[in-house]
Structure 1
Amino acid sequence: MADPRPATPTDLPLIIVAIATCLALVVFTAPLTTLDAMTDALGLSPGAQAWIMSGMPLGAACGLLTAGALGDTLGRRRTFVAGLWLTAASSVAAALSVNGLMLIVMRVVQGLGSAGIMACGLGLLGQVYDGQARRRAAAVWAAALGAGVAVGPLIASGLLAVSGWTATHWAVAAVSAALAVMAMSRLPESDRTGDRVDIGGSVLLIAGLACLMSALIEVRVGSTGLVTALLIGAVVLLGLFWRIERRTGNPILALELFRYPDFSGATLAAFASGAGVLALMSMVPTALVRGMGQSPMSAAVILLAWSGVTVVAALASGRLPERLTPRQRVIGAIAGCGVGQALMLAAGTGTSWAVVLPGLLIAGVSNGILNASLGHEAVQTVPPERAAMGSAANNTARYLGSALGIALISVLIAQKSGAGTDFFDAWHAAVIASTAFSVLGVLAMLVVSRPRGVVR
């Protein structure tokens, strides 16, 4: 559970990083309840709507490793603050958007700003706190992830009723700017290597991931030829990136990190959690609205049984028995997520929304523990000077996994456009597919990572 003590000066770094992390997830989830209003205001096509939903995670996935390298090379506080300012500026521009294209571009830039926040936030906590305090900080950071997912749709919905869809962007801009000012004076700067940033690798990675994630998005709304071309471009660009990273002296992703079994296991587990539990839970509101006739606001409230519990579980994860190693926690948490996902098979034609509660609750507890454990592993399984890179790689894997999972589930659901039996046939296929990713995550941890000692 959370420490009941009042905030002290030593808690300020944790407070700043936690709020900024929560804000990044608010940006990610805001369109869940404001997309219809944006569509009406800007005349968005179905393709534009898909891009607005996916633009922020696209920018985040493309920018995380580059932001991690910038943090290790130029300073984590500098990169973290730059991410906040970029989020503030792009949010102002998003609020002023006059057409769909401008809003899509700003959603991508919001993702790039969030990349700076998430890539360096956990690394900053790793250098400020140690021992039990570091574990507590990692738990709070993980709770902030869940809190953003939980409150984002509710905040956006409330502001929508008061001042329209632009209100969320104005609020994000104001909070981001305030956090940037606080961070400059309250967060310590990390040691800087002074090496040159791998610009070539950054460009290739961003372009390659952009092609890959664009292909995933366009599967729903684009042509076969376009999707094929994007996939070929992704393979070529990422292949060139891999080749350059093996030769450069200061890579944005040190490939030798994958020689550490624990790092490889944590990265695969993050990918599995994104493609598994995060992707499925992101689509639960769709099942509630389209399959059960719930209102969007009701669906957002019901989803709190997962996202809200995730926050509590992440904070309480510090009370788990000390004899449990991080590896054991990750394996158990992913398995628990899989159980919660499988229980979503209970949803069907004529069932009440209450049938999804057991799955949401079990997945929420497991996901909270998983977030805290993966956050700890992302920093602990790499050398100290690569802390930001380790955190960035972990988050990149999570975003790529969620993009893949959401695209897969969306395609399965889109094959059945009606409600009733047809919809839930597709939903059950989506549940099975996402649960399979969690099973693969457990297997990856068992095979790739290796047992270690008790958590210290």
Structure 2
Amino acid sequence: MDRTVTTTSSTAGGTLAVAAGGTLLAMTAFTAPLSIVPAVAGDLGAGPVATSWVLSSMSLGLAIALLTSGAIGDEVGRRRVFVAGAALLAVGSIAGAAAPEPWTFVVGRVLQGVGAAAVIACGLALISHTFPGPERARATGIWGACMGAGPAVGPLLGSVLDAVASWRWAYAVLAVLGVVLAAAGRRLLTESRSGRGRRVDAPGALFLAVGTGLLLAGLTEGRRGWTSPLALGLTVGAVVVLAAFLLHQTRAREPMLELGLFRRPALVSATFAAFVTGATIIALMSFVATVLESGMAYSAVEASVLLLAWSGVGAGCSLLARRIPLRVSGALRLAVGLLTIAAGLVPLAVLTTGAPVGQLVAGFAVAGVGTGLLNATLAREAVAGVPPTSAGAGSGINNAGRYIGAAFGVTVVTALAVRPDGGALGLVAGWNVAVLVGIALCVAAAVVVLLLQRAEERRSAAVPAAVV
């Protein structure tokens, strides 16, 4: 059984503030360079390959470490791993601020991703541990709002500081905030573990980190051509190493990831919805600044302000989602969120180089409603679909699905939108095709989630009969 402690309201409040604040900082760091890629690439002398890695490197760190850090936190202490992650986020930010050339910056971004993964996975697990029953819906709603607020703060932080001083100041600010977060975590968080007394599955963690890293690297290199020897080699290597990971998990006495968890349709549903969220709205919003700046002649600051219509609305709706009655199932919330995103993407699928601001704002705002509902619901479903002893692993599985989906989605969006010698017209036309693909994927995912809900209901009904 998960070790519990008696929590006062002040202790619970401190846990929520630090865990949610950590997620806000992690997402701010994730999105900070999205509106200033040309400035970063130009200052560092990055070519097309390095620029692609500038965009993808933090996703790589997140995907490598989300599931691993959550599972390790369950066993060695979620507070301990959270604080270590905050410190690593600060170190990666320092490397980014001081980077003399692009690959140092990329390494810093990977370190940021690994640190942010520990903060996100263990922060949500700490919230699950601290807030039982109905209180958890309110707490995860606040956590989801911070997940949505980060994409509002990050691009503004990067673009404004780049305009008034230098983009490097954004990373200096992130470094300071990372140190503050680590100190607050040590002071305000209460340690929790699964209480199972299991050893950390080091080989499993290594297999998973290497396999996921190879997969994300293959996706990034694939943007230049899927038939290149490097992209093919990375992808084949990922398949081999991940297969070895699964084989190891079936044979290990104390596996890092209990594969039996995936017999639960609720966990599969939440993980699939997280993957589609990453592959559609997160991927599209990660690329849209390029469309606004290079295809529609907006400045970096103007693009960041326009994106507030998505991220700001999303943060607000995550807070409001806690008022939805508990009798409304998580699967129904996920399906509605996905369909709402699809509706918001419709006006963004018919853009022209001179599209009115109202068209952009309307699409961003409606998509923001769906994103906010998904962020709040995924936070709850990620830990509801697993036993309390596996809260960190559940959080890691869900968020790893989100950012692997984001890396996959950005690859697809880039391939569809970027056309050689297409200019502004070609970029916008390619973007429209990518958005249409995103709409189709959201609608299909909503159907799959509802079907999985029916499977979960049949499973729950069969359990008492099986016990008897």
Give the TM-score band, short-chain normalised: over 0.9
Partner of residue 439 from structure 2, selected from 407, 423, 435: 435
Query: Is contact 1:59–1:112 with CA below 8 Å preserved after alignment?
Result: yes
Aligned to 2:465: none
Query: Is contact 2:137–2:380 with CA below 8 Å preserved after alignment?
Result: yes
Identity %: 39
Residue type of the alignment partner of 1:414: V
- Classify 1:316/1:417 alpha carbon distance in 2 versus 1 (closer, same or farther; 3 Å): farther
Matched, 1:411 2:415: yes
| CA distance in 1 between partners of 2:98 and 2:129 (Å) | 38
| CA distance in 2 between partners of 1:323 and 1:148 (Å) | 29
| CA distance in 2 between partners of 1:149 and 1:305 (Å) | 11
Q: Structure 2: give runs of 5+ residues left out of the alignment.
A: 1-8, 461-468
Aligned to 1:3: none
Matched, 1:294 2:294: no
TM-score when normalising by structure 1: 0.94
Residue type of the alignment partner of 1:285: A
Q: What are the within-5 Å matches in structure 2 for residues 54-453 of structure 1?
A: 54-191=56-193, 192-221=195-224, 224-415=228-419, 417-419=421-423, 421-450=425-454
Deviates more, 1:135-144 or 1:27-36: 27-36
Structure 1 residue matching 2:198: 3-state secondary structure: coil
Q: Deviations over 1:191-218 (max 9, x none)?
A: 3433221111111111111111111111
Residue type of the alignment partner of 1:22: L
Query: Is contact 2:159–2:300 with CA below 8 Å preserved after alignment?
Result: no
Residue type of the alignment partner of 1:415: R
Query: Is contact 1:379–1:387 with CA below 8 Å preserved after alignment?
Result: yes
Q: Deviations over 1:404-451 (max 9, x none)?
A: 111101011112543454333312210111122212321221222336
Deviates more, 1:100-109 or 1:319-328: 319-328
Aligned to 1:4: none
| CA distance in 1 between partners of 2:285 and 2:41 (Å) | 24
| CA distance in 1 between partners of 2:410 and 2:90 (Å) | 27
Structure 1 residue matching 2:223: 3-state secondary structure: helix
Aligned to 2:34: 32
Deviates more, 1:319-328 or 1:181-190: 319-328
Q: Deviations over 1:267-320 (max 9, x none)?
A: 011101111121122222222223322112111111111111000000011122
| CA distance in 2 between partners of 1:273 and 1:179 (Å) | 27
- Classify 1:157/1:290 alpha carbon distance in 2 versus 1 (closer, same or farther; 3 Å): closer
Query: Is contact 2:91–2:111 with CA below 8 Å preserved after alignment?
Result: no
User: What is the root-mean-square deviation in Å for CA atoms of aligned residues?
Assistant: 1.8
Deviates more, 1:36-45 or 1:99-108: 36-45
Q: Deviations over 1:19-51 (max 9, x none)?
A: 110110111111123333332332111211111
Aligned to 2:466: none
- Classify 1:346/1:357 alpha carbon distance in 2 versus 1 (closer, same or farther; 3 Å): farther
Q: Deviations over 1:83-107 (max 9, x none)?
A: 0111112222222222222111111
The number of residue pairs the alignment matches comes to 447
Query: Is contact 1:139–1:317 with CA below 8 Å preserved after alignment?
Result: yes
Q: Deviations over 1:140-165 (max 9, x none)?
A: 10000111111101112222234422
Query: Is contact 1:416–1:426 with CA below 8 Å preserved after alignment?
Result: no
| CA distance in 2 between partners of 1:435 and 1:44 (Å) | 33
Query: Is contact 1:65–1:252 with CA below 8 Å preserved after alignment?
Result: no
Q: Deviations over 1:385-408 (max 9, x none)?
A: 000100000000000111111110
Q: Structure 1: give runs of 5+ residues left out of the alignment.
A: 1-6
Residue type of the alignment partner of 2:356: S
| CA distance in 2 between partners of 1:294 and 1:357 (Å) | 14
Query: Is contact 1:277–1:338 with CA below 8 Å preserved after alignment?
Result: no
Structure 1 position 227, deviation (Å):
1.2
Query: Is contact 1:272–1:440 with CA below 8 Å preserved after alignment?
Result: no
- Classify 1:314/1:217 alpha carbon distance in 2 versus 1 (closer, same or farther; 3 Å): same
Query: Is contact 2:419–2:430 with CA below 8 Å preserved after alignment?
Result: yes
| CA distance in 2 between partners of 1:9 and 1:337 (Å) | 36
Deviates more, 1:427-436 or 1:48-57: 427-436
Residue type of the alignment partner of 2:394: G
Residue type of the alignment partner of 2:212: L
Deviates more, 1:30-39 or 1:428-437: 30-39
Q: Deviations over 1:166-204 (max 9, x none)?
A: 212221111111111121121111134332211111111
